[in-house]
A and B are shown apart, each in its own frame.
Chain A
Amino acid sequence: MPDDIPDVLTMERVTKIYGEGDAAVKALDDVDFEANIGEVTVIMGPSGSGKTTFLTIAGALLTPTSGNVIVSNLNITKMSESELPDVRREKIGFIFQSFNLLESLTATENVRLVMTEARRGSYHPELELLKMLGLGHRLNSLPKNLSGGEKQRVAIARALINNPDLILADEPTANLDAKRGRELMLLLRQIAMEMQKAVVIVTHDHRIREIAHRIVWLEDGTFRTDVATARDPVCSRVIEVEGAPMIDSEGQTYHFCGHDCRRIFEGDPARFRQS
């Protein structure tokens, strides 16, 4: 990246090991990573590759076994447990796969809940933000009365309310249909570029690649740069091409996450070619 674009998230030689001795599992192995303002970075990889561990460490929810994590110029690995909640609240915005709104609070209250004291005042940024995200008519609705797309937009408003530089999203389109998913992707890109945030998305959804400025592949706890990927036409997962089951059909090569998906494809190739 050019020198004039500041890093919002820097991870230096981060390793995370769960368990001890023979039972030890290395979830992240000497990982270096940077996320920059105005940029959407998509992290992809197979299940168990360490994506969630990466996200929770970047989000100050988990402490790495070794290495440094710097968020908005704060080395959070040097901080005590009691200091981390403030970092999460003020410096990081989270968008979760299951929206994770509090069911008893309205859309406005869900956003207002996480507002820092500094943001509270005579004007109401939470209302402005919700209206900006097209939820002006849903301000007093409970989550149970909102559609999936609306819930995710409330979650985005909650992530943005304290104006953090870093937005971490975990499978943000997983519970949305194709149309809503695409709208959300564009919104995330807009947020990164127009509101000058660093957006890091962990996902299996290949569609998100469309909006990514950068895609990185995480596998076995390390980032790989030489990975060719393809979308499994049956389950839509993005998979590493190398070693994956494959089929040539009508002049095109299809790769699959496993033999089950390939068998399903073989049963009705026309259906999956269209998708």
Chain B
Amino acid sequence: MLLVARKNLFSERTRLAIAVGGIALSVFLISLLLSLFRGWDETVGKFVEDSNVDVWVGAVGTKDFMRAASLVPLEGTEAFDEAVPIKEWAPLIVRPMVGVKVKFPRDPDDPGRELDIHLVGYDTQKGLGGPIKVVEGKEAPGPNEVIIDEALASRYDVDLDDLISAGGTEWTVVGISEGGNFVASQTVFVSLEQAQEALQMEGQATFIVFDLFDTIDHENFAADVSTIDPGAVGFTRDQFAANTREVILGDVLPILTIVLALAFVVGLAVSGLTMYTATIEKSREYGIIKAVGFKNAYLYRLVFEQGMVTGALGFAIGIGLTLLFGPLVGDRVPQFVTLVRWQDVLAVFGATVLMSLFASFVPVRRLAAIDPVTVFKA
């Protein structure tokens, strides 16, 4: 690095702090938003991806797990028992709803707290569509019992033995599972019979879920569903996970893109303006450098190196803050799910280099216009 570039940068610490701070803030915003998006993207599709269901079948119009308004009659479904490609099948009830948590032991003055939940009624014998992994308590819910996702437990401070009321029924929390977090809501598992009874869905389900033999092509099986029953539609696990992600994050993406662009512009503006004002303030010194025999290219390199070092420092601080801030907040706010991927870190680094490059170009015309003759003025 050029001596003058290094000295210029580090001799004026306030200016350096402003420029680095601007870039760091921008990098922090960009990387945090990206990691938040990645975290959500990973989380909201995870339940479907990690479940033991190969193909999801619902009524026509159903696309995803979140807006599960499908109603599938269970009449004649026993024929699936004989179907060759099917290893296992089961009805599954999914219903987004508002529950109420009541702490145990019950306090008559405590009205409870409302919870955003996805009530899942599953066949506890077959386990299809049930909890991904139970981390505490009973493996399967019995009558008037419920297994809740750990994110729900953390978000609303729900413990084993607490009560959850939903659809006019009260369930006791007997287990805590993982992998059922959809950020805005979390899964709550009850037995299929309990769900049918509570939601008055006897003889019906939201989905029929299938576990197929390994030799069976899942896509063909899902596609064949509509052929056999025009009122039904089938999705492979990956399609269903992608649809679920799309419904949650599809609307977020354009907003996120705009915020990312704004964060980039903020970083660029702060670093560009700082470099420009520094160039104006240092005009006389740059004039001296020209007068004693340095070319414009030297000055460009000087400013470029200052820009790059400022960018590198801002990047390191910004990424460091993201790595620190994400998990720290995530511990307190369960919806704040972040995932920092090295590909994104690389992309943010690229954006920072671009930012520094643009910022270095801002004062170029000014540098070229500096007349070394001005140094003869007292």
Residues of A participating in the B interface, judged by any CB pair closer than 8 Å = 52, 55-56, 59, 61-62, 82, 85-90, 92, 94, 96-98, 100-105, 109, 112-114, 158, 170-171, 174-175
Which residues 252-303 of B sit at the A interface, judged by CB distance below 8 A? 284-285, 288-295
B371 CB to closest chain A CB (Å) equals 8
Give chain B residues whose Cβ lies under 8 Å from the Cβ of A96: 288, 375-376
Give chain B residues whose Cβ lies under 8 Å from the Cβ of A89: 292-294
Nearest B residue to A96 via CB reads B375
A159 CB to closest chain B CB (Å) equals 9
**Given contacts A55-B376, A171-B378, are A85 and B7 in contact (CB under 8 A)?**
no
Give chain B residues whose Cβ lies under 8 Å from the Cβ of A62: 373
Give chain A residues whose Cβ lies under 8 Å from the Cβ of B196: none
Query: Are A85 and B293 interface neighbours, CB within 8 A?
Result: yes
Query: Are B375 and A114 interface neighbours, CB within 8 A?
Result: no
Chain B interface mostly? helix
Assembled-state Cα–Cα distance A87/B372 (Å): 14
Query: Are A102 and B285 interface neighbours, CB within 8 A?
Result: yes
Which residues 1-36 of B sit at the A interface, judged by CB distance below 8 A? 3-4, 7-8, 11-12
Give chain A residues whose Cβ lies under 8 Å from the Cβ of B285: 102-103
**Given contacts A56-B376, A61-B372, A170-B376, are A104 and B295 in contact (CB under 8 A)?**
no
**Given contacts A82-B295, A85-B294, A102-B285, are A113 and B3 in contact (CB under 8 A)?**
yes
A100 CB to closest chain B CB (Å) equals 5
Query: Are A105 and B7 interface neighbours, CB within 8 A?
Result: yes
**Given contacts A55-B376, A174-B378, are A104 and B293 in contact (CB under 8 A)?**
no
Partner of B293, one of A52, A56, A86, A112: A86
Query: Are B4 and A105 interface neighbours, CB within 8 A?
Result: yes
Query: Are B376 and A104 interface neighbours, CB within 8 A?
Result: no
Query: Are A105 and B3 interface neighbours, CB within 8 A?
Result: yes
Nearest B residue to A112 via CB reads B3
Give chain A residues whose Cβ lies under 8 Å from the Cβ of B284: 100
**Given contacts A61-B373, A62-B373, A102-B285, are A94 and B378 in contact (CB under 8 A)?**
no
Assembled-state Cα–Cα distance A114/B291 (Å): 11
**Given contacts A85-B293, A113-B4, are A56 and B288 in contact (CB under 8 A)?**
no
Query: Are B378 and A85 interface neighbours, CB within 8 A?
Result: no
B303 CB to closest chain A CB (Å) equals 14
Assembled-state Cα–Cα distance A270/B285 (Å): 44
Assembled-state Cα–Cα distance A185/B284 (Å): 26
Query: Are A102 and B288 interface neighbours, CB within 8 A?
Result: yes
Nearest A residue to B7 via CB reads A104
Assembled-state Cα–Cα distance A112/B12 (Å): 21
Nearest B residue to A171 via CB reads B378
Interface size on B, residues (CB 8 A): 21
Give chain B residues whose Cβ lies under 8 Å from the Cβ of A113: 3-4, 289, 292
Query: Are B295 and A97 interface neighbours, CB within 8 A?
Result: no
Assembled-state Cα–Cα distance A196/B55 (Å): 94
Which residues 294-342 of B sit at the A interface, judged by CB distance below 8 A? 294-295
Assembled-state Cα–Cα distance A100/B378 (Å): 9
Assembled-state Cα–Cα distance A174/B103 (Å): 86
Query: Are A97 and B372 interface neighbours, CB within 8 A?
Result: no
- Residue from B7, B12, B290 whose CB has the most chain A CB atoms within 10 Å: B7
Assembled-state Cα–Cα distance A114/B376 (Å): 18
Give chain A residues whose Cβ lies under 8 Å from the Cβ of B11: 103-104
Nearest B residue to A52 via CB reads B376
Give chain A residues whose Cβ lies under 8 Å from the Cβ of B372: 61
Query: Are A85 and B295 interface neighbours, CB within 8 A?
Result: yes
Query: Are A90 and B291 interface neighbours, CB within 8 A?
Result: no
Assembled-state Cα–Cα distance A232/B285 (Å): 34
A213 CB to closest chain B CB (Å) equals 24
A10 CB to closest chain B CB (Å) equals 20
A60 CB to closest chain B CB (Å) equals 9
A203 CB to closest chain B CB (Å) equals 13
Assembled-state Cα–Cα distance A113/B290 (Å): 12
Query: Are B378 and A98 interface neighbours, CB within 8 A?
Result: yes
**Given contacts A61-B372, A102-B288, are A109 and B3 in contact (CB under 8 A)?**
yes
Give chain B residues whose Cβ lies under 8 Å from the Cβ of A158: 292
21 contacts between A and B (CB under 8 A): A55-B376, A59-B291, A61-B373, A87-B293, A88-B292, A88-B293, A89-B292, A89-B294, A96-B288, A97-B378, A100-B291, A100-B375, A102-B4, A102-B289, A103-B11, A103-B285, A104-B4, A104-B7, A105-B3, A113-B292, A171-B378
Query: Are B291 and A104 interface neighbours, CB within 8 A?
Result: no
Q: Which 8 A-B pairs have the closest CB atoms?
A: A89-B293, A104-B11, A88-B293, A104-B7, A100-B288, A85-B295, A85-B293, A114-B292
**Given contacts A102-B4, A102-B285, A105-B7, are A90 and B376 in contact (CB under 8 A)?**
no
Assembled-state Cα–Cα distance A171/B375 (Å): 12
A90 CB to closest chain B CB (Å) equals 7
Give chain B residues whose Cβ lies under 8 Å from the Cβ of A100: 284, 288, 291, 375
Which residues 353-378 of B sit at the A interface, judged by CB distance below 8 A? 372-373, 375-376, 378
A258 CB to closest chain B CB (Å) equals 20
Give chain A residues whose Cβ lies under 8 Å from the Cβ of B295: 82, 85
- Residue from A89, A94, A104, A171 whose CB has the most chain B CB atoms within 10 Å: A104
- Residue from B7, B8, B376 whose CB has the most chain A CB atoms within 10 Å: B376
Partner of B292, one of A94, A97, A98, A171: A94
Query: Are B376 and A109 interface neighbours, CB within 8 A?
Result: no
Assembled-state Cα–Cα distance A228/B372 (Å): 34
B373 CB to closest chain A CB (Å) equals 5
B297 CB to closest chain A CB (Å) equals 9
Assembled-state Cα–Cα distance A138/B292 (Å): 22
B296 CB to closest chain A CB (Å) equals 9
Assembled-state Cα–Cα distance A98/B378 (Å): 6
Give chain B residues whose Cβ lies under 8 Å from the Cβ of A112: 3
B14 CB to closest chain A CB (Å) equals 14
Query: Are A109 and B292 interface neighbours, CB within 8 A?
Result: no
